[in-house]
A and B are shown apart, each in its own frame.
Chain A
Amino acid sequence: MAKHSDELIPLDINDIPDPSVFVAPPETYRRPRKKGRRATLEAGLTITSLMDALTIILVFLLKSYSNSPVQLKQADDLKLPMSSTEVIPTDSTAVVITLNDIVVDDKPAVRLDNGKVASSDLSSGDLLIEPLMDKLADSVGVQKRLAAVNNKIEFKGIMTIVADRQVNFNLLTQVMYTAGQAEFSRFKFAAIKKSQ
Chain B
Amino acid sequence: MAKKPTERRSFTEESLDVNLTPMMNLIAMLIPCLLLSAAFVEIAVVNVSAPSMNSAPDDGKKRLDVPALDLRITISERGYIVSGSQGPFPTPGGQPTGNGPTIPVVQQKVSCVPYVGTWPPPRSKNSDSPKCNKSADAGVYWVYDTEALNKMLMEIKTQYPEERRVIIAAEPGTEYDTIIGVMDASRDGRGPEGEHRALFDEVLLAPAIL
List the B side residues contacting A55 at CB < 8 Å: 27
Residue among B21, B27, B118 making CB contact with A54, cutoff 8 Å: B27
A22 at the interface (CB under 8 A from B): no
A98–B120 Cα distance when bound, in Å, is: 18
User: How many contacts A-B (CB < 8 Å)?
Assistant: 175
Given contacts A64-B40, A169-B171, A169-B172, contact A89 B114 (CB under 8 A): no
What's the Cα separation between A185 and B53 when bound, in Å? Answer: 12
Contact B114 A165 (CB under 8 A): yes
Q: How far is the CA of A74 from the CA of B41 in the complex (A)?
A: 9
* Contacts known (A47-B24, A186-B50); A166 close to B45, Cβ less than 8 A: no
- Chain A interface residue count: which class? 35 or more
Name the residue of chain B whose CB is nearest to the CB of A47: B20
Q: Give the contact stretch, choosing among B100-108, B130-138, B175-183.
A: B175-183
Of A164, A169, A181, A193, most buried by chain B (CB within 10 Å of CB) is: A169
Taking the closest CB of chain A, its distance from the CB of B179, in whole angstroms, is 7
Residue B86 interfacial (CB < 8 Å): no
Contact among A58, A84, A179, A192 with B43 in the assembled complex (CB-CB below 8 Å):
A192
Asked if A188 and B45 make an inter-chain contact with CB atoms under 8 angstroms apart, the answer reads yes
Which of A48, A51, A86 interacts with B44 by CB under 8 Å? A86
Across the interface, which residues of B come within 8 angstroms of A61, CB to CB? 31, 34-35, 38
CB distance from B156 to the nearest CB of A (A): 19
The answer to the question of B51 belonging to the interface, with a C-beta cut-off of 8 Å to chain A, is yes
- By the criterion CB–CB under 8 Å, are A81 and B45 in contact? no
Question: Interface majority SS on B: helix, strand, loop or mixed?
Answer: mixed
Residue-wise, chain A 102-119 has the 8 Å CB interface mask toward B (1 for contact) of 000000000000000000
The distance from the CB of B6 to the nearest CB of chain A, in whole angstroms, is 9
Give chain B interface residues in 149-184, CB to chain A under 8 Å: 170-177, 179-181, 183-184
Asked if A66 is at the interface of the complex by the 8 Å CB criterion, the answer is yes
A180 to B54, Cβ gap below 8 A? yes
Q: With contacts A58-B31, A169-B173, A180-B54 known, is A64 near B38, CB below 8 A?
A: yes
Chain B residues within 8 Å of chain A by Cβ, number: 52
Docked Cα-Cα span, A73 to B23, in Å, equals 32
CB distance from A163 to the nearest CB of B (A): 5
Bound together, the chains give a CA A70 to CA B205 distance in angstroms of 22
Asked whether B43 lies within 8 Å of A185 as measured between CB atoms, the reply is no
Least Cβ distance of A171 to chain B in Å? 9
Given A50-B24, A61-B34, A180-B54; A187-B207 close (CB under 8 Å): no
CB distance from B81 to the nearest CB of A (A): 15
Interface flag for A88 (CB, 8 Å): yes
Give the complex CA separation of A114 and B110 in angstroms.
26
Given A168-B176, A183-B56, A176 and B50 touching (CB < 8 A)?
A: yes
Decide if B46 touches A191 in the complex (CB within 8 Å). yes
CB of A20 closer than 8 Å to a CB of B: no
In the bound complex, residues from chain B placing their C-beta under 8 Å from that of A169 are 170-176, 179, 207
Q: Is the CB of B45 within 8 A of A170?
A: no
Q: What are 15 sample pairs from A and B whose C-beta atoms fall under 8 A apart? A: A40-B14, A47-B20, A57-B31, A61-B31, A61-B35, A83-B180, A86-B44, A87-B47, A89-B44, A169-B175, A172-B176, A172-B205, A186-B48, A188-B48, A193-B44
